[in-house]
Amino acid sequence: MDTTKIHPDLKQKFSEMITLDFDWETIDMEEARRLVNARNAGNPIPTDKSVTITNKYIPGPSGAPDIQLRIYKPTEHDEFLPGILWIHGGGYMFGKVESDDYLCQKFVSEARCVVVSVDYRLAPENPFPAPLEDCYTSFLWLHEKAQELSVDRSRIAIAGPSAGGGLTAALALLVRDRKGPSIVFQMPLYPMIDHRSTTPSSYEIMDHRVWSRKKNIHAWKMYLGEHLHGEISPYASPALATDLSGLPPTYTCIGTLDLFRDETIDYVKRLNQAGVPTEFHLYPGCFHAFERVEVNAEVSKRAVNQYIQVLKSALGS
């Protein structure tokens, strides 16, 4: 990774970032998650009084535990609103349902919608397909309970960053193929969608302050579990999907210094070739999850504002 190319708005923060390079063969996952959550707690999460946040547990897939959902709604509203199923990131191994409180509140207040964030099971304890099935079950619940939630069933989108972007892309494929309820829009942000790690950008990013090649290879190993050495499903690794037709209109973005750059660009190209309306933004000098690492940078604010505006347009809100 050529650090001289880092966006000027991000250079100072990048120099201060803590390296988290675990010994993946010996690390206790609960301890690893504690360290990751501690590092990610650096940005304060202001409370928006115009947004009400509640937690709810729903039945999980057959034989699986209940799923926690975190629901964000306008404190005052008297109309049916668009809905978003939000899927947090974390390399399929990390992340928690409340980690995106700040962003989900912004969606509600600025895009005038209801957000349901899903606390899916994590690898390696729960490899594919458990996390995806949790997301699918949560999507069906959101559609089924739309009236109760004051959500317009015809305006439900799915979205998430990184591994959450991978699960978003996978969920869109799964809902299409299972002939599930309509998804009006998908927003897989800088998505983790290709287990093969063979693109040029997957070799460029070695710096352990960001999502690096070593982390990526291990995360896919943990997520795929027993499937690793067999035939890999496109629902696990969406870049393998040969047919992208019939997917919902899409928005995605990526930084030029993101390990997922090339797999995202290829995904966008193939969505367009399949006739899926797709909008894409490439941010020069930006590394993985830059807008979360340095929320106050101008480029970060611009990125967040762009996908909020895209959501507003797609949802008609």
162 is catalytic: yes
Q: Which of 194, 258, 262, 300 is catalytic?
A: 258
Q: Which of 138, 162, 201, 212 is catalytic?
A: 162
288 is catalytic: yes
258 is catalytic: yes
Phi then psi for residue 216, to 5 deg, are -65, -45
Identify the residue whose tokens are 């928005």: 251
Which amino acids are annotated catalytic? 162, 258, 288
